[in-house]
Amino acid sequence: MLTKMTARFAVLAVALAAIAIPAITHAQATDEGAELPDYSRKGADTCFQCHDDQATLAVFRTKHAMPQDPNSPFGHGQLQCEACHGPAGDHAGRVRRGQERPAILAFGSMSTTSIADQNAYCAACHDADTGFAWHGSAHDDNTVACSDCHTMHNERDPVLATSTQAEVCFDCHQQQRTQSMKPYAHPVRQGKMACTSCHSPHGDTTERLLAGSTVNGTCYDCHAELRGPYLWEHAPVTEDCNSCHNPHGSTQPGMLSMRAPMLCQSCHSQDGHPSVPQDAGGLASNIPSALLLGQSCLNCHDQVHGSNHPSGSKLMR
């Protein structure tokens, strides 16, 4: 088993190795004399001789087609359509009868271009926009294409709107779609909360691509009242909200991972009422039990997230 110190040394060792090896291979791979590709004669004017449908032209209602922005694909001196679709000289040129027209770089599921190469085109301009941790993120590891989530020619990209974003994410994250339909869930299915409220799809160094520094740091963004620190803390609460909650949805009230009192009894076994099994004998039709019905343990220990009362050690006040 590694110790923490060993792991820290391993950080340096792997970092050095990772820096050294590619530096060598890059020196070998760089070829200053490489021939430049062939671009079209007139840029977009060439493309629109064929591609004049509304779906294509809709790009002019997006930020990609702002001529006054020098960094826009249609900015002065930029490569217009070919900024994203690559050099189209051969694609736009003459072809012999029966000969297949050479392809240009296309995006989407039917593209023959590798996803890494598709993404390289986007990253040429948006590398810094995607944050510092795209490389090696879960989406990068699973070869997700930018175009899997983004629709560049649409006036309104669905993944950028809170009300429509989840449907895009659910195309791949089908299990989360199921969970979002559970009776107690964040308002994702209602279109009132975006997946990006909690997650950074372009990468983060946290587990699960969380937007905050930690799980709790992410939750506190909306639930700041629970941050504390409280005088009387509940130990697992300070460490990980997921200890008790399923944030993607649950069949239990409060998005709890299990029904109380069983959830509480997974940790609490003190002599007396915490260790008593709560069975059907405590139902309303038998001898109603305050430890089972209502809010169960929370009937009295309401302040499970912590208490700031000087006498609140039992999280009751």
Q: Which of residues 215-244 bind other proteins (CB under 8 A)?
A: 217, 220-222, 224-233, 235-236, 238-240, 243
Give, as ranges, the residues between 101 and 130 that touch other proteins (CB under 8 A).
101-105, 109-110, 112-113, 117, 120-121, 123-124, 127-128
Q: Is 144 in the site for other proteins (CB under 8 A)?
A: no
β-sheet bridge partners, residue 245: 256
Q: What is the CA radius of gyration of the chain?
A: 28
Termini Cα distance of the chain: 43
* 211 binds other proteins per the rule CB under 8 A: no
Residue 150 makes contact with other proteins by CB under 8 A: no
Please report whether residue 153 would count as binding other proteins according to CB under 8 A.
no
9 part of the interface to other proteins, by CB under 8 A: no
Q: Which of 233, 226, 223 is nearest to 314 (CA)?
A: 233
Q: Decide: is 32 part of the binding site for other proteins (CB under 8 A).
A: no
* Minimum distance of other proteins from residue 21's CB (angstroms): 4
What is the footprint of other proteins within residues 169-208 (CB under 8 A)? 171, 174-175, 177-179, 181-183, 187, 190, 192-193, 205-207
- Nearest approach, Cβ of 152 to other proteins (angstroms)? 15
CB of 192 to other proteins, least distance (A): 5
Among 32, 33, 77, 98, the residue binding other proteins under the rule CB under 8 A is: 77
Given a contact cutoff of 8 angstroms between Cβ atoms, the answer to whether 82 and 120 are in contact is no
Tokens encoding 220:
């506190």
CB 248 within 8 A of CB 176: yes
Instruction: By CB under 8 A, name the one of 29, 32, 33, 98 that touches other proteins.
Output: 29
Cα 69–chain centre separation:
29
110/93 Cα distance (integer angstroms): 23
CB of 282 to other proteins, least distance (A): 9
Neighbours of 180 (CB within 10 A): 21
Instruction: Please answer whether residues 210 and 219 qualify as being in contact, where contact means their C-beta atoms are separated by less than 8 angstroms.
Output: no
